[in-house]
């Protein structure tokens, strides 16, 4: 059920972030796809986290770290449809009820979701640059021993 959304991300979003210097990392788990780049002595990392029940929804977990090996992670959070900790805040094909009533359609097309993500991505770039939290960012404190962007966000 999530396959059309996965394919749309690969077709449109992957080239979008790769053009900005991110490199896709080797997959270690089917629910996570990690991207990294180094900028101004900082490693900028985000991963796409898919719903564990294969529903068509995902979130971008992000973090920044000093140095290339990222031994001391300094901050992390999520880029999502809106702030908050519930799955309803994740990017996905499901429409909020008000949008359903306006459009008489229950779902977004996969390409619409990817475009929404790409419109929100500059907020993440601004956070990495100056720490500014936009309306689609959900930031949390980071424990020093965490090893994945998603460890303390679940």
Query: What is the predicted pLDDT for the residue at 74?
Result: 52
Can you tell me the mean pLDDT for 129-143?
Answer: 82
> What rounded mean pLDDT belongs to the chain?
86
Whether the per-residue pLDDT at 136 is higher than 70: the answer is yes
Q: What is the mean pLDDT of residues 129-148?
A: 74
Alpha carbon of 78 to those of 6, 63, 102: distances in Å? 18, 9, 28
pLDDT score at 84: 84
Residue 13 lies in a domain: yes
Instruction: Decide which of 145 and 114 is more confident.
Output: 114
- Which band of pLDDT confidence, cut at 50, 70 and 90, is reported for residue 146? very low
Radius of gyration of the chain (CA): 15
Pick the more confident residue, 71 or 40.
Answer: 40
Confirm if 148 and 28 have CB atoms less than 8 A apart: no
127 found inside a domain: yes
Q: Is residue 38 part of a domain?
A: yes
- The DSSP string of 54-84 is --SEEEEEEEEEESTT--EEEEEEEE-SSSS
**Domain for residue 149, yes or no?**
no
pLDDT digits (tens, 9 = 90+) for 52-101: 999 999 999 998 776 544 444 457 899 999 988 888 899 999 988 888 99
**pLDDT above 70 as % of the chain:** 85
Q: Which domain holds residue 48?
A: 3-140
- Per mean pLDDT, which of 12-16, 24-28, 68-72 is the most reliable? 12-16
- Is 72 part of any domain? yes
- Within-domain flag for 125: yes
Residue 150 lies in a domain: no
In a domain, 154, yes or no: no
Pairwise CA distance, residues 93 & 107, whole Å: 5
Q: For residue 20, give both structure tokens.
A: 């900005």
Tally of structural domains, the chain = 1
What average pLDDT score do residues 24-42 get? 92
């Amino acid at each position: 059920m999530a396959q059309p959304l996965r394919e749309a991300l690969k077709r449109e979003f992957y080239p979008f972030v790769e053009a900005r210097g991110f490199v896709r990392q080797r997959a270690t788990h089917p629910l996570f796809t990690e991207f990294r780049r180094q900028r101004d002595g900082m490693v900028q990392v985000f991963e796409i986290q898919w719903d564990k029940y294969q529903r068509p929804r995902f979130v971008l977990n992000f973090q920044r770290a000093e140095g290339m090996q990222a031994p001391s992670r300094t901050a992390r959070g999520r880029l999502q449809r809106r702030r908050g900790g519930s799955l309803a805040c994740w990017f996905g094909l499901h429409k909020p009820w008000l949008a359903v009533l306006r459009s008489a359609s229950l779902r977004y097309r996969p390409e619409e979701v990817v475009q929404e993500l790409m419109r929100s991505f500059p907020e993440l770039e601004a956070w990495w640059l100056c720490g500014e939290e936009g309306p689609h960012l959900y930031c949390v404190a980071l424990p020093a021993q965490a090893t994945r962007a998603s460890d303390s966000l679940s």
